Chains A and B, each alone.
Chain A
Amino acid sequence: MTGLLRMVGSGALSVLRKMGHMLIFLVQSLSYAFIPPFKFRILLREIQFIGTKSMTVIVLMGSFTGMVLALQGFHLLRKVGSEALLGPAVALPLIRELGPVLSALTITGRAGSALTAEIGIMRISEQIDALTAMALNPMRYLIVPKMFAAIIAFPLLTAIYDVVGIYGGYFVGVKLLGLSSGTYFSQMEHFLEMEDIRIGIYKSLTFGILVLWVCCYKGFYTGYGAEGVSKATTEAVVMSSVLILIADYFLGTLFI
């Protein structure tokens, strides 16, 4: 019994220690964000990496999400004679839930994993030590620009995801299933409120910070060798994805 208690206790302490370490990492990186010199060129490069390079996959995912929503929604709504509500049936879940969550999961897979691997390789090849040895703060050079790039890129990519999704739904609902274009958009306008869009933005901002926090942390404190980097990358993607869904639920209860 004492052995079991000791095991549970030490496990809990280890989790708490890790959480504290992660929290210090986040606070440190955010605090460096407000101390000059600011690295605008690196920030632009990171926005390009996280944002621009994720566009193709975001457009693809967004359009098919909207198409699936329209296809399923149309048949369901027809059963209750409410096909006219297809516009809001596509737009509302997309803007409030699916857009922020699925785009965050997509960016985690595409950019988050790459960032963990990049920072991890910099760690094991002593590039981070080289920065420290040059009296240059690696947090400022590596982490802060990535965090800010995520804060800028995540909401923008989510907005693109939403818009493309709505047009994907339009294509299926209007062009393939014969709903009128006016009905699709006018009903959407009627049901959709600014609050819904705001919720989507808040969520994507939260997910952006969460994903970059986890991915940068895992890369920064990666284990030894190729195996360490591979493990850190896997952990970063899994942990980010789980945290996105947990945060989505709690944000959902907050905004419902």
Chain B
Amino acid sequence: MINIVGLQKSFGEQKVLSGVSLSISDKELIAIIGESGGGKSVLLRHLIGLLKPDRGKIVVEGEDITKMSGRELDGIRQKFGVVFQGGALFDSLTIYENVAFPLKEKMKLSRREINERVEDALEDVGLRGMEDKYPAEISGGMKKRVALARALITEPKIVLFDEPTTGLDPILLHAIHKLITDTHKKYGFTGVMISHDIPEIFHVVDRIAFLYKGTIEVVGTPKEIRASSDPVVRQFIKGSLRGPIEIS
């Protein structure tokens, strides 16, 4: 489904990705974990063509998106849904309008069809009755759920989640994780999630990739990652101050 090969990216003198390679299978839910500021979001932004790599390629369903631009890239983006870190909801639109936005702009649907799909999507994320509120009037957790509804409304093949639970309390964190697994089962998308939620994330995803010093240090099922003898992985999972990972 998605093949990342030798991806490199620097910002000025700072090398953020120094050869990331990762294969993501169809309908798989994978989490990318790693240090804060370690390049996880940069990697995610490459997957949707928001950033161009210095070297390497990203093959999505057989097509190298790093060579694409303009309309070609827009064509690939139709396959994606993205849940941004802060939700990235449009301030000037209501919750209903935010969720309906991709349908109105990208699909030729009748008003009734749009209405039905938006209501269903809001039902899925437990936000029926909030349609007329503006993003500024709802909580952080609700924003994440609206963002999820908006990302899923076009039934994309691939959904990218950029830290979907950051800043939420433990109950909301579980609620969002459950929502992601439920919608993953329902829609059957391929999901790539950036996460810091250890150990919760072990119960959510099929595989975990650990990004360290610009490369994928280790990738495996949650069970394999837990059992890993790699000192870097062990220190990260334990959240220990002692070990090879230096706190900057």
Q: Which chain A residues have a beta carbon within 8 Å of chain B's beta carbons?
A: 121-122, 125-127, 129-130, 132-137
A133 touches B77 (CB 8 A): yes
Which residues on A sit within 8 Å (CB–CB) of B105? 134, 136
Q: Do A125 and B88 contact each other (CB < 8 Å), given the known contacts A133-B82, A134-B102, A134-B106?
A: yes
Residue of B nearest to A121 (CB): B91
Is B78 positioned at the interface, with any CB of A under 8 Å from its CB?
Answer: yes
Q: How many angstroms from the CA of A136 to the CA of B78 in the assembled complex?
A: 10
Residues of B within 8 A of A122 (CB): 90-91
Contacts of A135 in B (CB 8 A): 74-75, 77-78, 106
Q: Return A21 CB to nearest CB of chain B, in Å.
A: 16
A117 to chain B, nearest CB (A): 12
Instruction: List chain A residues, Cβ under 8 A from B106.
Output: 134-136
Q: Render B174-200 as a binary contact track against A, CB cut-off 8 A, 1 for contact.
A: 000000000000000000000000000
B134 interface contact, C-beta 8 A: no
Given A134-B102, A134-B105, A136-B105, residue A129 in contact with residue B50 (CB < 8 A): yes
Say whether B48 faces chain A, with CB atoms less than 8 Å apart. yes
Name the B residues within 8 Å of A132 (CB-CB). 48, 50, 77
Q: Kindly identify, within residues 74 to 111 of chain B, every residue whose CB is under 8 Å from any CB belonging to chain A.
A: 74-75, 77-78, 80, 82, 84-86, 88-91, 101-102, 105-106
Complex alpha-carbon distance, A121 and B89, angstroms: 12
Q: Which residues of A contact B85 (CB under 8 A)?
A: 126
User: B102 — which chain A residues lie within 8 A by C-beta?
Assistant: 134, 136
Residues of chain A within 8 A of B77, CB atoms compared: 132-135
Q: Are B88 and A126 in contact (CB under 8 A)?
A: yes
7 more contacts with CB within 8 A, not counting A130-B90, A136-B106, are: A121-B91, A122-B90, A125-B88, A129-B45, A129-B50, A134-B105, A135-B74
A/B interface sample: 5 pairs, CB < 8 A: A125-B88, A127-B88, A133-B50, A133-B77, A135-B106
Complex Cα distance, B101 from A130, in Å, reads 11
A124 nearest CB neighbor, chain B only: B86
Return the chain A residue nearest B47 by Cβ: A133
Nearest A residue to B80 via CB reads A133
Nearest-neighbour CB distance to chain B for A68, whole angstroms, equals 38
Chain A residues with Cβ below 8 Å from B78 are: 135
**Closest partner residue, chain A, to B71 (CB atom):** A135
Complex Cα distance, B90 from A71, in Å, reads: 49
Minimum distance in angstroms from A85 CB to a CB of chain B: 50
Given the complex of chains A and B, what is the CA–CA distance between A127 and B50 in angstroms? 13
On whether the beta carbons of B88 and A129 are closer than 8 Å, the reply is yes
How far does the Cβ of B86 sit from chain A's closest Cβ, in whole Å?
A: 6
Q: How far is the CA of A130 from the CA of B86 in the complex (A)?
A: 11
Q: Chain A: which residue is nearest B73 at the CB level?
A: A135
Closest to B45 in A: A129
**Contact partner, A130, options B45, B74, B75, B82, Cβ 8 Å:** B82
Q: In the complex, what residues of B have CB within 8 A of residue A134's CB?
A: 77, 101-102, 105-106
Interchain nearest-CB distance for B211 vs A (Å): 20
A130–B85 Cα gap in the complex (Å)? Answer: 11
CA A132 to CA B75, docked complex, whole Å: 12
Among A122, A129, A133, find the residue whose CB has the most chain B CB atoms closer than 10 A.
A133
Residues of B within 8 A of A125 (CB): 86, 88, 91
Decide if B88 touches A130 in the complex (CB within 8 Å). yes
Q: Are B91 and A127 in contact (CB under 8 A)?
A: yes
B75 touches A129 (CB 8 A): no
Distance A135 CA – B78 CA, assembled complex (angstroms)? 6
On chain B, the residues within 8 Å of A126 by CB distance are 84-86, 88
A residues in contact with B90, CB < 8 Å = 122, 127, 130
B window 101-147: CB within 8 A of A: 101-102, 105-106
Which residue in chain A gives the minimum CB-CB distance to B48?
A133
- Whether the Cβ atoms of A129 and B74 lie closer than 8 Å is no
**A137–B102 CA distance with the chains assembled, in angstroms:** 12
Task: Report the minimal beta-carbon distance from B89 to chain A, rounded to whole angstroms.
Answer: 8
Tell me how far the C-beta of A149 lies from the nearest C-beta in chain B, rounded to whole angstroms. Answer: 15
Q: In angstroms, how far is the closest chain A Cβ from the Cβ of B40?
A: 15
